Amino acid sequence: MAHKFNITPAANDQFKFDFSYNAEKIFWSENYKQKASAQNGIDSLKKNAPDATTVDLSKGEDGSGYRFEIVESKDGQHFVRFVASNGETMARTETYTSKASAKNAIESLKTRGPDAEVNDQA
């Protein structure tokens, strides 16, 4: 199966999206009040992720504009946030034991996200 975005129902009549490969969610969003807002989030990822910079916060790096942020959790693992130019987190990953896995998630969204189909399950 190919990579795809899924729009799904969330609590309180809201919506969320994820970017998945097979049944594995790679990135997922917060909840949105309207389905159109979830779709706008997907459209923004498709457009902005390929050229977004990667900032490793665990190394003290910082950045602005659309960017991927690699974050170290309290237990020494890493996760990734995709941040919009206004500083809002649009999507994040699970926590990975290796930073290489976090970087693989970034590469997956950058290269496969723009052409990924959108599966509306809401």
State the DSSP code for 13: G
CATH of 3-114 among 3.30.499.10, 2.30.29.80, 2.130.10.10, 1.10.1500.10: 2.30.29.80
Domain limits of the chain? Answer: 3-114
DSSP annotation of 81:
E
CA angle 121, 96, 72 (to 5 degrees): 115
Per-residue pLDDT of the chain (122 residues; tens, 9 = 90+): 689 999 999 999 999 999 999 889 999 999 999 999 999 999 999 999 999 999 999 999 999 999 999 999 999 999 999 999 999 999 999 999 999 999 999 999 999 999 999 999 98
